[in-house]
Chains A and B, each alone.
Chain A
Amino acid sequence: MEFIIENKTAGQKLIRILSKTYSIKRDRSTQREQSYFDTFDWRLHARDLVLYRANDVFSLENNRSGIRLAEQVISPEKPLRFWWDCPSGPLREILSQALDVRALIHIVDLKLSNQNISILNKDQKTILRFSLESVTNAHNPDKQFHRIVLNPVRGYRKEFTEIKKILIDTGQRFEKRDLIESIQSGSDRIPGDYTSKISVQLNPDWPLLKSTTSIFKYLLNVMRNNEDGIKQDIDTEFLHDFRVSVRRTRSALTQIKTIFQPEDELYWKKYFSVLGKASNRLRDLDVYLLRKNQLKDKLPDKLRPELDRFFRSLKSERRKEFKKFIRFLEGKTFHTMKTGWEDFLDTQENIKLRPGSPSSATLPKAKEFILKKYLQVLRRGDRIEESSPDKDLHQLRIECKKLRYLLEFFFSLFPPDEIKSLISRLKKLQDHLGLFNDLSMQQFQLIEFLENKIAPTDKNSLKTAGSIGGLITLLNSEQREVRGDFSSRFREFSSRKNRDLFQNMFGPSGVSS
């Protein structure tokens, strides 16, 4: 439990007051450095968690209460980047849920110097540790604050409550502030400064052109924010978020109609298509490699060595693709296109609206686009029967994505709770189609390997082919199961209730905020 106080003198006063009721033992003053970590998109902070390392011990605390949830010794030779790098224990459990595939990044280093005091009961047993601390940003010593930290000893809750009461009764003001926010300055990162969720604030009365250029600028910014992370190869999600922004941009160029001049629209669509393709193979390889352990678990032990060989070749291909893509990112083409796109958007924003130009207000147009796409999704889904080819489900998945993007682009124009609920209904259908697609991609990957990588004369090849063949069969039967569930999922999505909700919100005389 931590409280910010004005200065050291205030802290000393509190100690004097406590010493009237309890025995106090002064321990040595200590200094330590703590390094703080979180993912690029602040996943720990979003769950009210804070993770830091002091010497070789990592501690995870609740950001609000300061209660330590887990502690783990990790030797410096084995840096903690992903949750699977953590030795088993409570820390690993919590991180595996919070981090998923994202890596931990170093945020800030703090210097702490404290006066440590043990509060003792009448048996001279320590029942609480009280620490008067100065916290300083190690690279920016101007940023400093003072605080008291109370560390209760397990099982002495009653005494802790009594001590807290004494402290509160002194009239001392205690503040709780977010540690990392308090200590950062200038260009340092602060919690929540990046999220992969799309949140553009639009005004319903804006001309559609203005809304659209705002969306494009937002998406370009997300791409920019992820470039460094991609180049440094920190984790797979930088590229993923980058690509999602490219996809969203392409979707907006197509779904939000008659915004730009036709030749401009064509030009930029082509450019973003090239941009998307430049990292297609790299992303596929990232996904295959992330799946490594999952796939290995599905095979009998004897055949695993063959799968290892397969993944080794994927890894080396991935290295090549990565280098290729980095060269592209650092190249002139990409740089010219980025600045070109930005200039283009700036110009578009400032276009004086001519008669017949895209001057319509955003809101009615947004509803029109969304409703149209929604009806398309319904029509496609309705046409799918048990005997329909898999291709139809893949197509539906793509249409659902386009609908989802539209809902996200224009999110700020509608009542938040209601539109969130519509999105989550769509998400259920998307998740199902996504699983179907994923199983398809996995089989495709393996078939590709069989066709391209196995030389018939290679002694090992028969064994490898056997294991891969077995796995494909397994995946295929999983996929059939998922396929079987489709009609009930789609029925759920296209229920009367959902149709009414969509019509109410996006129909011509629908609700708006």
Chain B
Amino acid sequence: MTIIAFYNIKGGVGKTSTAVNISYLSSRENLRTLLIDLDPQGSASFYFRIRPRKNFKTNKFLQGGQSIENNIRGTDYPHLDLLPSHISFGKLDIGLHKFKQSKSRLKTILQPIRREYDVIVMDCPPNITLLSENVFRAADAVIVPTIPTPLSIMTYKKLMKFFKRQQLDDSKIFTFFSMVEQRKTIHKESVQTIGKKDPHFLKSTIPYSAEVEKMGVYREPLFRYSPRSFAAIAYEGLWQEINSRILKS
């Protein structure tokens, strides 16, 4: 059982699209998959047409156990479940401070559901808080979608430094170039130079795509309405790489 988190302190880098499409691909290979939406914006939940129960608030989430079990919902796709987010999740980090083991509470919450799934994917909110520190400890792999510009790449490097300072295992960190626009010189150059030298970089890149943006309209994973688009093919490549490099080791 592997836990993967899609994380970036910056918003709008393709975290949710990737989390949704990768979970879908995982379930399509008959791996029992759970997507956990930790972002109070609830985009992942929206894409799957799933609302949380009214009372599934921060304290219930942090309680773990039966509260989690009761709130997992099946998506329309076989082998794929979702734990939806709730607007109150904005206060998850405040709630976490109340716990003694405040940095490993999430890991503890996930313990009982581990045996139900082969893969757990987490869609994280774009910030760095106590919740993020929980994610870093709970996940087996932290995958950072990065837009190929110097500023974004710097954000990725800052995360590596953060891991080192916190004495976290930075071999967990992986990154890939997301929302790549070949026409932009700066994108092309960044992909060509940086990606090759750093072992944390996955080889697959995901192009910027209007098709992906339509997920908000169709409210389905990309492969349901546009399976042959460049983005879809790119996601399949990314999934294969994640599967062989991360899941199988």
Instruction: Name the contact of B30 in the complex, choosing from A73, A90, A125, A126 (C-beta under 8 A).
Output: A73
Who on chain A is nearest to B76 by CB? Answer: A126
Residues of chain B with a CB closer than 8 A to A484's CB:
none
Residues of chain B with a CB closer than 8 A to A90's CB:
115
Tell me if A154 counts as interface (CB < 8 A to partner B). yes
Instruction: Name the contact of B72 in the complex, choosing from A124, A126, A155 (C-beta under 8 A).
Output: A155
Most B Cβ at <10 Å: residue of A90, A118, A124, A153: A153
Residues of chain B with a CB closer than 8 A to A124's CB:
49, 219
Could you tell me if B72 and A125 are in contact, using CB atoms closer than 8 angstroms? Answer: no
Tell me if A206 counts as interface (CB < 8 A to partner B). no
Who on chain A is nearest to B31 by CB? Answer: A73
Could you tell me if B51 and A155 are in contact, using CB atoms closer than 8 angstroms? Answer: no
Instruction: Name the contact of A154 in the complex, choosing from B30, B51, B73, B219 (C-beta under 8 A).
Output: B73
Could you tell me if A154 and B49 are in contact, using CB atoms closer than 8 angstroms? Answer: no
Instruction: Name the contact of B49 in the complex, choosing from A118, A123, A155 (C-beta under 8 A).
Output: A123
Could you tell me if A154 and B72 are in contact, using CB atoms closer than 8 angstroms? Answer: yes
| Interface members, chain A 53-75 (any B CB < 8 Å) | 57, 73
Expressed in whole angstroms, the minimum distance between the Cβ of B120 and any Cβ of chain A is: 15
Residues of chain A with a CB closer than 8 A to B72's CB:
154-155
Tell me if B226 counts as interface (CB < 8 A to partner A). no
Could you tell me if A125 and B71 are in contact, using CB atoms closer than 8 angstroms? Answer: no
Expressed in whole angstroms, the minimum distance between the Cβ of A294 and any Cβ of chain B is: 25
Could you tell me if B73 and A153 are in contact, using CB atoms closer than 8 angstroms? Answer: yes
- Kindly state the separation between the CA atoms of A413 and B81 in the bound complex, as whole angstroms: 56
Could you tell me if B76 and A156 are in contact, using CB atoms closer than 8 angstroms? Answer: no
- Kindly state the separation between the CA atoms of A418 and B76 in the bound complex, as whole angstroms: 54
Whether A125 contacts B50 in the complex (CB less than 8 A), given A154-B74, A155-B72, comes out as: yes
Who on chain B is nearest to A123 by CB? Answer: B49
Expressed in whole angstroms, the minimum distance between the Cβ of B85 and any Cβ of chain A is: 14
- Kindly state the separation between the CA atoms of A125 and B76 in the bound complex, as whole angstroms: 7
Expressed in whole angstroms, the minimum distance between the Cβ of A301 and any Cβ of chain B is: 24
Tier of interface size on chain B = 10 to 19
Residues of chain B with a CB closer than 8 A to A123's CB:
49-51
- Kindly state the separation between the CA atoms of A90 and B113 in the bound complex, as whole angstroms: 13
- Kindly state the separation between the CA atoms of A179 and B115 in the bound complex, as whole angstroms: 30
Most B Cβ at <10 Å: residue of A118, A125, A126, A155: A155
Residues of chain B with a CB closer than 8 A to A155's CB:
70-74, 81
Residue interface bits A15-29, CB-to-B below 8 A is 1, else 0: 000000000000000
- Kindly state the separation between the CA atoms of A156 and B72 in the bound complex, as whole angstroms: 9
- Kindly state the separation between the CA atoms of A118 and B72 in the bound complex, as whole angstroms: 20
Residues of chain B with a CB closer than 8 A to A153's CB:
73-74, 76
Could you tell me if B51 and A156 are in contact, using CB atoms closer than 8 angstroms? Answer: no
- Kindly state the separation between the CA atoms of A202 and B46 in the bound complex, as whole angstroms: 68
Who on chain B is nearest to A93 by CB? Answer: B115
Expressed in whole angstroms, the minimum distance between the Cβ of B74 and any Cβ of chain A is: 4
Could you tell me if A154 and B81 are in contact, using CB atoms closer than 8 angstroms? Answer: yes
Who on chain A is nearest to B82 by CB? Answer: A155
| Interface members, chain B 36-59 (any A CB < 8 Å) | 48-51
- Kindly state the separation between the CA atoms of A90 and B50 in the bound complex, as whole angstroms: 27
Residue interface bits A98-126, CB-to-B below 8 A is 1, else 0: 00000000000000000000100001111
Residue interface bits A137-158, CB-to-B below 8 A is 1, else 0: 0000000000000000111100
- Kindly state the separation between the CA atoms of A90 and B49 in the bound complex, as whole angstroms: 29
Expressed in whole angstroms, the minimum distance between the Cβ of A147 and any Cβ of chain B is: 22
Residue interface bits A151-175, CB-to-B below 8 A is 1, else 0: 0011110000000000000000000
Residues of chain A with a CB closer than 8 A to B30's CB:
57, 73
- Kindly state the separation between the CA atoms of A72 and B115 in the bound complex, as whole angstroms: 14
Instruction: Name the contact of A156 in the complex, choosing from B48, B73, B219 (C-beta under 8 A).
Output: B73
Expressed in whole angstroms, the minimum distance between the Cβ of A26 and any Cβ of chain B is: 15
| Interface members, chain B 67-122 (any A CB < 8 Å) | 70-74, 76, 81, 115
Expressed in whole angstroms, the minimum distance between the Cβ of A89 and any Cβ of chain B is: 8
Most A Cβ at <10 Å: residue of B72, B74, B219: B74
- Kindly state the separation between the CA atoms of A73 and B32 in the bound complex, as whole angstroms: 11
Could you tell me if A125 and B81 are in contact, using CB atoms closer than 8 angstroms? Answer: no
Expressed in whole angstroms, the minimum distance between the Cβ of B223 and any Cβ of chain A is: 17
- Kindly state the separation between the CA atoms of A3 and B70 in the bound complex, as whole angstroms: 26
- Kindly state the separation between the CA atoms of A154 and B72 in the bound complex, as whole angstroms: 7
Expressed in whole angstroms, the minimum distance between the Cβ of B218 and any Cβ of chain A is: 11
- Kindly state the separation between the CA atoms of A153 and B72 in the bound complex, as whole angstroms: 10
Residues of chain A with a CB closer than 8 A to B70's CB:
155
Who on chain B is nearest to A153 by CB? Answer: B74
- Kindly state the separation between the CA atoms of A202 and B49 in the bound complex, as whole angstroms: 64
| Interface members, chain B 161-216 (any A CB < 8 Å) | none
Residues of chain A with a CB closer than 8 A to B219's CB:
124
Expressed in whole angstroms, the minimum distance between the Cβ of A71 and any Cβ of chain B is: 8
Most A Cβ at <10 Å: residue of B51, B76, B115, B219: B76
Who on chain A is nearest to B71 by CB? Answer: A155
Residues of chain A with a CB closer than 8 A to B49's CB:
123-125
Other A-B pairs beyond A125-B48, A125-B49, 12, CB < 8 Å: A123-B50, A126-B76, A153-B73, A153-B76, A154-B74, A154-B81, A155-B70, A155-B72, A155-B73, A155-B81, A156-B73, A156-B74
Query: Can you list 12 A-B contacts with CB-CB less than 8 angstroms, sorted by A residue number?
Result: A90-B115, A118-B76, A123-B50, A125-B48, A125-B49, A154-B72, A155-B71, A155-B73, A155-B74, A155-B81, A156-B73, A156-B74
**Which 5 A/B pairs are nearest by Cβ-Cβ distance?**
A155-B73, A154-B74, A125-B49, A153-B74, A123-B49
Q: CB within 8 Å of A: which residues of B?
A: 30, 48-51, 70-74, 76, 81, 115, 219
